[in-house]
Amino acid sequence: MPHTNPPRVGFIGLGSMGSGMTRNLLRAGFPLVVHDVRAEVLEEYAALGAELADSPADLASRSDVVITMLPTPAVVSEVLTGPDGVLAGLAEGATWIDMSTSVPAVAEDVRRRVAGRGISVIDAPVSGMAVGAASGRLQIFVGGDDAEVERWRPVLEAMGDPERILHVGPHGAGYAVKLLINQLWFSHLVATAEVLAVGVRAGVDLGVLRSALIASPANSNFLEHDVLSVLEHGDYDEGFAIALACKDLGLSTDLAAAVGMPVEVSALVEQVYRRARASYGDRAGEMTPFQLYEELVGHPLRLGATA
């Protein structure tokens, strides 16, 4: 998509997600400036035609819009407000879009700090894994003012599926929707693993049990589709590390606490995830809580396998 006078995009956080997203921005014709603490990943970007920045402030001073794709809210806060941070370099009229899975409080703090400087803030976290980032088909949940969201839609469309870039509400709504989607999916995983494990221990065939559940009012997208990764392939999805899944679950319960909501089920799911992380390590896949139940059964839960 050719742009006349395309805006200069600054991108910080060139990891599993950021590496695909930046390549799609370059393909769409946006001039790109990049920064990451890992110097080794920067080298390849010069060959791709991007400019390199020494610090977030340096990057911000050369960008119309700064995008962050960073691991945790603490890192986002440090990169924005720390010494040589984005806020030290951002010009009047510029925009910061945070695409990290984070919480509204960090962006609220940034908005307070930039009040009166003509700087806009948007939250736009994503779903779709590293595969979606590489293919430019991410789902994006956007929170912010209408005019700003529309202004930056072409940049978001370079990274996401235009049909699934959803403006879900005012500042913070994007973070909330993203965290709640992950919370519900992780809850589906734990509940499904528990039910299948009990059923198999009770002597029901795994495939028969799953088919009966799918044909019942208890059916879910997880039971029909996502669980097959484990049941057919023994794939616990290492593309999304359980350490990050635990971070998301912690942020989700923090969000509930911030709005005064008790969340007994979510808190329990978080504990199961923490147990799996402790058992299998930080880099284990996001679906490894399933394995906790398989250990209780005494063998992996696999369709077509004989127990």
Contact residues toward ligand NAD (CB under 6 A) are 12-18, 35-38, 69-71, 75, 78-79, 100-101, 126-127, 129-130, 239-240, 244
Residue of minimal CB distance from ligand NAD? 15
Q: Does residue 247 have an active-site annotation?
A: no
Task: Work out how close the CB of 284 gets to ligand NAD at its nearest, in angstroms, rounded to a whole number.
Answer: 14
Q: How far is 116 from 3, CA to CA, in rounded Å?
A: 30
Q: Which is nearer to ligand NAD, 152 or 175 (CB)?
A: 175
- H or E element that contains 48: helix 39-48
Task: Work out how close the CB of 169 gets to ligand NAD at its nearest, in angstroms, rounded to a whole number.
Answer: 19
Q: Which is nearer to ligand NAD, 35 or 210 (CB)?
A: 35
Cβ pair 56, 77 in contact under 8 A: no
State the catalytic residue, choosing from 35, 167, 171, 178: 178
Q: Which is nearer to ligand NAD, 6 or 136 (CB)?
A: 136
Q: Spell out the residues 6+ positions from residue 167 whose beta carbon is closer than 8 angstroms to its own.
A: 142, 143, 144, 146, 149
Task: Work out how close the CB of 139 gets to ligand NAD at its nearest, in angstroms, rounded to a whole number.
Answer: 9
Q: Would you tell me how many other CB atoms lie within 10 Å of the CB of residue 157?
A: 16
Q: Using DSSP bridges, classify how beta strands 126-127 and 138-143 pair: parallel, antiparallel or unpaired.
A: antiparallel
- What is the Cα Rg of the chain in Å? 21
Q: How far is 279 from 273, CA to CA, in rounded Å?
A: 10
Cβ pair 169, 155 in contact under 8 A: no
Q: Which is nearer to ligand NAD, 34 or 223 (CB)?
A: 34
Task: Work out how close the CB of 44 gets to ligand NAD at its nearest, in angstroms, rounded to a whole number.
Answer: 12
Which residues are catalytic, by number?
178
